[in-house]
Structure 1
Amino acid sequence: MKRRTFLASSLALAAAGPAAAQAIRLPAGADPENTLVIELKDGPVIIRLRPDLAPKHVERIKTLARQGFYNGIVFHRVIEGFMAQTGDPQGTGMGGSPLPNLPAEFSREPFVRGTLGMARSQSPNSANSQFFIMFAEGSFLNGQYTVFGNVVSGMEAVDKIKRGNPAANGTVTQPDRMVRVRVAADIR
C-alpha cells in the first residue's frame, strides 16, 4: 500500500479547493488508509481509526465512507457532557446501513474525550453504521461498546455540534450534519 507524505497529502487537499486545503492537515506519521476525515460545518475532524482494536468495525466505517453513506447524515442524538451520535440515514436512531450487523469487538480501551464508539441496541452484536464521539470521559461504557477510533485533530468542531434536548434523551431539533466523510487515502 502506497503511503503519501504530509506534503503530498496537503497538495492533494489544495487541489480539492481552498477551504479543504486550509482546514485539513493530516498529522505527521498518520496512515491515510486508517485516517477518517469528517467534514463538519465548523471544520474538519481527523480520526485515527484503530484496526488493532476493532478490525471489522474499522472496515465497515471505511466501506460506508467510501460509498458516500455518511455524507449529509445528521447528529440525531447529542447530549451535553456525554457524546454526539450519528450514522442513521433516517435520523431517528432506529436505522442503519443495508449491510449486516457486526459482532462486538469490545476491548480494554477506555472511553475518554474524543473516543469514537459504535452505537448498538441491547444486543452486543447489533452495531451497524451508527457511531458516537465522546465529549467527555465515559468509563461506564468501557468494555460494553466497541471503540474503533479517536479524534486526533478538530475536536473544537465536534464541541460545536448542536446539542439536543436533555428531556428527550438528546434528540436534536434541526440537527447538524456530517457534510462529507472520507478515508484520507481517497482524498486527491
Structure 2
Amino acid sequence: MRPALLPLLVAAALAPAFTVHADEAPRPKTTQELLDASLASDWRTLDPASTLYLELDSGRVVIELAPDFAPEHVGNIRTLAHEGYWNGMSINRSQDNFVVQWGDPAEEGQPRKSLGSAKAKLPAEFERKAEGLDFHALPDKDGWAPQVGFAGGFPAARDPQSGEAWLAHCYGAVGAGRDVAADSSDGSELYVVDGQSPRQLDRNITLVGRVVDGMERLSVLPRGTGPLGFYEEAAQRVPIKSIRLAADVPEAERSRLQVLRTDTPLFDAVVESRRNRRDDWYKRPAGHIDLCNISIPTRVPPADSDS
C-alpha cells in the first residue's frame, strides 16, 4: 500500500455510515406553527378595568390602557368613559400616514363639554422609572433609544443610563393630545397612530395604551382634507356611538379576546421567527427587526381553554 493512501483509508473507516444533507436539517417553525403549539399560559386575558371599547357604526375597536406608564391619564380616561363623556362625539381627524383623532368637535373658543368628575389638569407622563418594570429587550439596535423591547405587552424603550422607560409610538399606539405646554393634556382628546411609526413623538407626548383589535376600522377612514387631516365639514366626521370601559359592559357583551404574553420563551421564538424569516419564499434572513414591526398576536380563546 502506498503511504499517501493510508490517511484517506483511515478517514474513510472513521467516517459515519450516513451523511446529513443540508436540506435535511430541522426546519425552523413559522410564526403560525409556533402559535398553533402555544399553551394557555402563553396568553393573557385583558383586564376589564383597563380595556376600552370604542363603538363605531363599523364595529368595535378594543383598546388596552397602560396604567403602569400613565396612571394619571388612565385614571382620567376611566372616569370619562364611565361617565359617558365620548358618547355621541366623533372622530374629527384622519391624517394620512399619521394619526386618527377623536374628542369634542367644538371649534376653538366655543363651549366644550364638561369633563364631569375627571380632572382638568394632569401631569405630563412622557416616561417613568425603569426600576421595577418587567422589560424584555430586543437584540437589535434602535435609532430612537438605547434599548427597545416589550413591557407588559406594550412596545417600549428604556435608557439604562438615565434609568427611564417609555412607551413607543408604534402602529396602533394610543396617545393623549396636548397643546404646547407639556402638562396641557386632560385625556379627553385621544389619537391612534395609523401610519409609519412617528417615533420622534416618543417622550414628547403621553401614550396611554394601544389598539389590540379592530385597528382596521380606524385605518380605512377617509382622510381629512383640512390642515393636519381634520375634517372640514361636520358631515365628514365619523360618529362615535360610545366609548365604554369593559368593566362597565355586561360580561356577555364583552369581546372574548386574549393577547400573547410578551414575557415568555414562546414570544421570544415568535420574535425570532419574524426577525429571521426562513419561510420557503425568503432567500436571505434579515438578521434584524424594528420594534414597531413586531405585531403582538391576539386570539379568541378556544372553548376548552381554562384561562
TM superposition score normalised by structure 2: 0.49
Aligned equivalent of 1:152: 212
User: Sequence identity of aligned pairs in percent?
Assistant: 35
Q: Indicate which of 49, 53, 56 corresponds to 2:72.
A: 56
Select the structure of larger CA radius of gyration.
2
Counterpart amino acid of residue 71 in structure 1: N
Q: Indicate which of 223, 227, 238 corresponds to 1:176.
A: 238
In 2: Cα distance, 1:147 partner to 1:28 partner: 22
Q: Any conservation in 2 of the 1:78–1:162 contact (CA below 8 Å)?
A: yes
Counterpart amino acid of residue 186 in structure 1: D
Aligned equivalent of 1:124: 182
Q: For residues 46 and 105 of structure 1, do their structure 2 counterparts lie closer, same or farther at Cα, with a shift above 3 Å needed?
A: same
Q: For residues 126 and 42 of structure 1, do their structure 2 counterparts lie closer, same or farther at Cα, with a shift above 3 Å needed?
A: same
Q: For residues 93 and 157 of structure 1, do their structure 2 counterparts lie closer, same or farther at Cα, with a shift above 3 Å needed?
A: farther
Counterpart amino acid of residue 105 in structure 1: E
Aligned equivalent of 2:46: 30
How far off is 1:177 after superposition? 2.1
Q: Deviations over 1:31-73 (max 9, x none)?
A: 0111111011211011110000000100111100111110121
Aligned equivalent of 1:103: 123
In 2: Cα distance, 1:140 partner to 1:62 partner: 27
In 1: Cα distance, 2:114 partner to 2:210 partner: 22
| Number of aligned residue pairs | 160
Higher mean C-alpha displacement, 169-178 vs 40-49? 169-178
How far off is 1:146 after superposition? 0.3
Verify: 1:161 aligned to 2:181, yes or no. Answer: no
How far off is 1:184 after superposition? 0.3
In 1: Cα distance, 2:45 partner to 2:97 partner: 31
Aligned equivalent of 2:101: 85
Aligned equivalent of 1:40: 56
In 2: Cα distance, 1:35 partner to 1:86 partner: 17
Verify: 1:187 aligned to 2:203, yes or no. Answer: no
In 1: Cα distance, 2:91 partner to 2:108 partner: 9
Q: For residues 162 and 93 of structure 1, do their structure 2 counterparts lie closer, same or farther at Cα, with a shift above 3 Å needed?
A: farther
Q: For residues 80 and 97 of structure 1, do their structure 2 counterparts lie closer, same or farther at Cα, with a shift above 3 Å needed?
A: farther
Q: For residues 57 and 96 of structure 1, do their structure 2 counterparts lie closer, same or farther at Cα, with a shift above 3 Å needed?
A: farther
In 2: Cα distance, 1:100 partner to 1:71 partner: 19
In 2: Cα distance, 1:127 partner to 1:104 partner: 8
Is there any run of 5+ residues in structure 1 with no aligned partner, and where? 1-26
Aligned equivalent of 1:135: 194
Q: Any conservation in 2 of the 1:87–1:96 contact (CA below 8 Å)?
A: no
In 2: Cα distance, 1:142 partner to 1:111 partner: 6
How far off is 1:178 after superposition? 1.8
Q: Any conservation in 1 of the 2:124–2:183 contact (CA below 8 Å)?
A: yes
In angstroms, what is the RMSD of aligned CA positions?
1.8
Counterpart amino acid of residue 169 in structure 1: L
How far off is 1:93 after superposition? 6.6
1:55-74 equivalences in 2 (<5 Å) = 55-74=71-90
| Runs of 4+ with >2 A deviation | 92-99
Q: Deviations over 1:120-173 (max 9, x none)?
A: 0000101021110110211111000001010011011111323201x5221213
Q: Any conservation in 2 of the 1:34–1:48 contact (CA below 8 Å)?
A: yes
How far off is 1:101 after superposition? 2.3
